Structure 1
Amino acid sequence: MSPAIRLFRRLVAAGALTLMTLSPAFAVEKGVFFPETFTLPNGMQVVVVTNKRVPVVTHMVWYKVGSADEARGVSGIAHFLEHLMFKGTDELPPGAFSRIVAKNGGRDNAFTSWDYTAYYQNVARDRLELVMKMESDRMSDLRLTDEVVYPERDVIIEERRQRIENEPADRIGEQINATLYVHHPYGTPIIGWPQEMSTLTREEAERFYKTWYAPNNAILVVSGDITAEELKPLAEKYYGAIPTRPVPERARVQEPPISAARRVILRDDEVRQPSIRRSWHAPSYRVDPNGHAYPLQVLSEIMSGGPTSRLYRSLVVDQRLATSAWLGYSPTSYDLGSIGMGASPAAGVPMDKLEAALEAELQKLLDKGVTDEEVATAKKRMLAEAAYARDSLTGPAQTLGAALATGQTIDDVENWPVRIDAVTADQVNAAARAVLGKTNHVTGLLLPLQDKGS
C-alpha cells in the first residue's frame, strides 16, 4: 500500500480529512488493490492480489458468459450449468468437489449473473494447489449423464419457487425488470422463466459448456497469501495445459428507445411491507458515451448513503412518511445499466402520499441539484471505503473478477479513486438531469390485497 493511501486512511479515521480543502492530486492517487497480472499462452488472464495477513487464499474462476448470453428459448441454462459443474468429471464423481473442499477446511460455491458465471473456494494456502487441480479439471472435462442432470433440473425449479414465486418482493422485481428491458436479455430472469426451465436438457447444457467454458474466455483471480511469482507455475501447470477454443462474440440485441412511462402493480396476501420503486435505464462503465457513470455513483451516495443521506433524512426522519428510502445504482453491467429509487411507507401512510413525496424529492434534485459540500462529503466516504477495501480477502477477487468479466481493465479498477475524486457537483447535476429527468421510467407498486390505493 502506498504511503499516500496509508496517510489518507489515518486522516479519515481521525476525522481530519476534508476533501474540500485538499487538491485531488494530494487527496487521492491511483491504486485500490495493487494487483499483479499475467496471461497464459492459451489466453487465460490471471490476477493476483497479495494479502499475507493470514495463510488463506480466495481462488476464483470467472467465465465471461452469463444468462444474457443465452439463446432465446433456453432461459436459465447458464444458471443450470453452474449447478451441473458440481456433477463430476472422469476424476471426480458427482458431489465430490464440494466434499473435498469441506474436508480440507474450505468453503466453495458459485454464482451466475446476466454477464458472468463465477466459481470460488476459500481455503488454506497449502490447499490452493488442490482446488486449482479440481477447478481446472471441471473446466475441461465435465461429464454429464441423464441421471444427474434431470434431478438437478428439479432442484433449480424448486429454487425458483422458493426464491421468487413465494416472495412477492422478488416477483415484482422480476416483473419490473422485464418491463424496463422489453427487448434486451437483461429483462429475462437469471434463473429462467418457469416454462423454459422445465424443458432444459442435458444436450443444451453440454452445448453451452462447450461453447463458452474455455480458458481464453475465463479469468483466474487469486487473493490472499500468495504472490504472482508463486502462483504462475501452478497456473501454468493446471490451467495452461487446457487448449484454447474458439468462443463466439457476445452479440446482444440493443434495447429500443422507450417513449412512455410504465406502471407495474402487484397485490398479494403475503405482502407485509408495501413498497414503491422506480427504475430508469442508465449507463454502465462500458457503455457510457456521456461520462455519467462516476457522477451517478456520487449521486447515489448523496441520496442514499446512510442515515444522513437526502432521502432518508427527508422521508424517514423529517416527514416520517417512510420506514426506508433509497436510490441505488451500479455501473458494472456489460451493456446498459439501470438506476432506481424507492421507499416503504410508515404505518398508516397511503401509498399515493408516499409516491408524491418521493417525486417531490426527485424534482428538488432536478431543479436545485446537489451542492459542492454534498459532493465533497460523499466522495470522502466513498474514498475511505476504497482505502479499506483491500483489507478484505474475498472482496478484491470479487471486484476485479466482475470488472474484467464486464469489459473493464485492471487500470480502470485501480483508477477508480482518482476518477471519483475528480467528480464535480456540475457533473453530478448533469448526470441526474440526463438520466432521472427522463419520463420513460417504470414504477412498481407492491401492495397487500386489501390496499386499494395505487
Structure 2
Amino acid sequence: MRAILKPMGLTLVLYATTASAQAEDVTTFTLDNGMDVVVIEDHRSQALTNMVWYRTGAADEPAGKSGIAHFLEHLMFKGTDKMAAGEFSATVAANGGTDNAFTSKDYTAYYQQVAADRLDLMLKMEADRMVNLQMTEQDVATERDVILEERNMRIENSPQALFSEQADAAQYLNHPYGIPVIGWRHEMEQLNQQDALTFYHQYYAPNNAILVVAGDVEPDQVRELANQYFGPIAPNPDLKPRVRPQEPPQLAERRLNFSDPRISQPYLVRSYLAPERNSGDQRQAAALTLLASLLGGDSTTSYLATKLQFDTQTAVYTSASYSGMSLDKTEFNLIVVPAQGVELADAEKAMDQAVADFIAAGPDPEDLERIKTQFRASEIYAMDSTNSRANRYGAALAIGLTVQDVQDWVPTVLDISADEIIAAAKTVLDRRASVTGFVTPSEPVTTGTEG
C-alpha cells in the first residue's frame, strides 16, 4: 500500500503547487466595449500564443445556412481594406510565426504563435479583420469550392464520419448540435457573399469576443495594446442573447443500421444525451468524466476492456468517452468492436450487462484512485503548455464558463466520490435518450436488444 500511496501523494502535491502558481499567473479584465481579455504569463521563453475567440459556431447558424460559420472562418483570411487576400498569414510567417483557425459547434477561434515582441502586430491585424473584412464574389466562389472539397475529404471519404453525422442528427431531436459543423452539402453549395457578411456583422464584434494572450507578456502591456487596437471598435448593440432551441424530453430509443463497403470491421456505437459543464456547478460533469475513464478510458485496463476483451473475449476493442465542454447538452459515448465470430447484437448485450454490473458493484476503489492519479498527471503536463492553457481558457469562456470554473475543474474532479459517479451513470445512461448504431461492411443487420 505504501508503494501505491507515495506516487499519488507526490502527484497531488505537484498538482497543487503547479495549479496554485499558474492560477496566480492568470489575469482577466474587460474592455469598455465588452471584449473579455485573459492574460496567461509564462516567461520561460520569449514566445506567445495569441488567440481571438468569437462566441459563435455552427449551432448559432440561421436555418438553412449550415456551414456558414466555418465558411466565414475561411473568408477571414481573404483580406481587409488594409491587407490583401492572404497577407495576414504571409505577415505572420514573415515574422517567424504560424497561424490558423478552427470552428466548433459553439465558437470560432483564430490564433498565432509568434515571438513575444510581435504581439503589437498580431493585435493590430486581428483588430483590423474584426471590422474591415473584405471579400469579392470570386473570393467567395473559390473558398466555397475549398470547403466543399474539405467535406469530400473529411466526410464523404470516411464512412465513419458519415455515420457520425447520421447519429448526431438522430441524437438531437431539436437542437442544432444535430447539424454538422462543416454543413450539409446541399446547403453549403448555396452559401453566398451576403450570407457570409450577414453572419460576420452579426457575430464578429468585441462584445462577442475573447482575447487570450499566453506567454512572455505582462498584463499591463496586453491591456495597453488591447485598448489601443480593440478599444476603438464599437460593440454590436444588436447582439442577441445566445438562446438556441433546446431538446425536449427524449422518450424513445433510436437505432441505426449503417453499412458501407469501405468498413473493414463491424462495430457498434451507443450515445446518450448528457449534461454539459455548467458554471458554478460542475460536479455531475466531473462525475461523468471519471465514469468514462473507468468504463472505457483505456483500451486495456478499463472496466469494459477487462470484461469484454479479456474475461469473455467478446470484443477486441472497447471505449467510453465524454466531454462536457459545450454550451448545451452533449453526449456520453460507448464503442465496442466485437471479436471475430461475435454478432453485434451479442456484443451489445455483453456491453449492456457489463455496464449494469459496474453500476451495481460501483467502481473499484483502487481503480478510482488510479484514474484520479492519471487525471492529475495529465493536467500537470497540460499546464506546462502555454498553447494548451490558452485553448483551455478561451474555450471555457466561449461556452459560458468563467476563469474560476477553469481553475476549479481539477479540484472538483478529484473530489468526486464513487456514489456521485454511480448516481451520474444511473441518470445519464438512459436508453430512452440514446442512439445505438450498428456499423457494418455489408447490408444492415436488423437484430437488437430491448431497452
Q: Name the TM-score, length of structure 1 as normaliser.
A: 0.91
Report whether the alignment pairs 1:341 with 2:334. Answer: yes
The whole-number CA distance in structure 1 between the counterparts of 2:7 and 2:197 is: 57
Report whether the alignment pairs 1:39 with 2:30. Answer: yes
**Structure 1: gaps of 5 or more residues:** 1-10
2:272 to 280, 298, 303: 280
Report whether the alignment pairs 1:423 with 2:420. Answer: no
User: What residue number does 2:236 align with?
Assistant: 245
The whole-number CA distance in structure 1 between the counterparts of 2:358 and 2:284 is: 16
Contact 1:281 1:336 in 2 (8 A): yes
Report whether the alignment pairs 1:171 with 2:147. Answer: no
Residue 412 of structure 1 deviates from its aligned partner by: 0.5
Distance 1:14 1:397, change over 3 A: farther
Distance 1:331 1:31, change over 3 A: farther
User: What residue number does 1:87 align with?
Assistant: 78
Contact 2:280 2:405 in 1 (8 A): no
1:266 to 247, 258, 265: 258
Report whether the alignment pairs 1:189 with 2:180. Answer: yes
User: What residue number does 1:158 align with?
Assistant: 149
Distance 1:143 1:25, change over 3 A: closer
Report whether the alignment pairs 1:366 with 2:356. Answer: no
Residue 440 of structure 1 deviates from its aligned partner by: 2.9
The whole-number CA distance in structure 2 between the counterparts of 1:322 and 1:147 is: 52
2:389 to 382, 396, 411: 396
The whole-number CA distance in structure 2 between the counterparts of 1:319 and 1:33 is: 50
Contact 2:26 2:38 in 1 (8 A): yes
What's the CA shift string for 1:303-358, capped at 9, x where partnerless?
Answer: 22323221223323333333321111111110111111112233443322322221
- What code does the residue aligned with 1:250 have? R
Distance 1:434 1:405, change over 3 A: same
The whole-number CA distance in structure 2 between the counterparts of 1:123 and 1:160 is: 30
The whole-number CA distance in structure 2 between the counterparts of 1:444 and 1:438 is: 13
- What code does the residue aligned with 1:189 have? P
What's the CA shift string for 1:102-150, capped at 9, x where partnerless?
Answer: 2222111111111100001111112222221111110110011101011
Percent identity over paired residues: 43
Report whether the alignment pairs 1:386 with 2:363. Answer: no
2:64 is paired with a residue of what secondary structure? coil
Report whether the alignment pairs 1:140 with 2:128. Answer: no
- What code does the residue aligned with 2:390 have? A
The whole-number CA distance in structure 2 between the counterparts of 1:378 and 1:179 is: 32
Residue 378 of structure 1 deviates from its aligned partner by: 1.8
User: What residue number does 1:209 align with?
Assistant: 200
1:416 is paired with a residue of what secondary structure? helix
Task: Identify which range, 438-447 or 117-126, moves more after superposition.
Answer: 438-447
What's the CA shift string for 1:24-53, capped at 9, x where partnerless?
Answer: 999997966841111111111110111122
1:38 is paired with a residue of what secondary structure? strand
Distance 1:266 1:451, change over 3 A: closer
The whole-number CA distance in structure 1 between the counterparts of 2:17 and 2:212 is: 31
- What code does the residue aligned with 2:255 have? R
What's the C-alpha RMSD, in Å, of the aligned pairs?
Answer: 2.7
Contact 2:283 2:412 in 1 (8 A): no
Report whether the alignment pairs 1:448 with 2:441. Answer: yes
Residue 250 of structure 1 deviates from its aligned partner by: 1.2
Task: Identify which range, 217-226 or 439-448, moves more after superposition.
Answer: 439-448
User: What residue number does 1:299 align with?
Assistant: 291
The whole-number CA distance in structure 2 between the counterparts of 1:348 and 1:141 is: 61
2:438 is paired with a residue of what secondary structure? strand
Contact 1:286 1:406 in 2 (8 A): no
**Structure 2: gaps of 5 or more residues:** none
1:76 to 48, 51, 67: 67
1:240 is paired with a residue of what secondary structure? coil
The whole-number CA distance in structure 2 between the counterparts of 1:21 and 1:239 is: 40
User: What residue number does 1:410 align with?
Assistant: 403
User: What residue number does 1:124 align with?
Assistant: 115
The whole-number CA distance in structure 2 between the counterparts of 1:126 and 1:183 is: 47
1:356 to 349, 356, 372: 349
- What code does the residue aligned with 2:290 have? V
Distance 1:414 1:182, change over 3 A: same
Distance 1:426 1:375, change over 3 A: same
User: What residue number does 1:7 align with?
Assistant: none
Q: Name the TM-score, length of structure 2 as normaliser.
A: 0.92
Residue 290 of structure 1 deviates from its aligned partner by: 9.5
1:67 to 58, 61, 81: 58
2:257 is paired with a residue of what secondary structure? strand
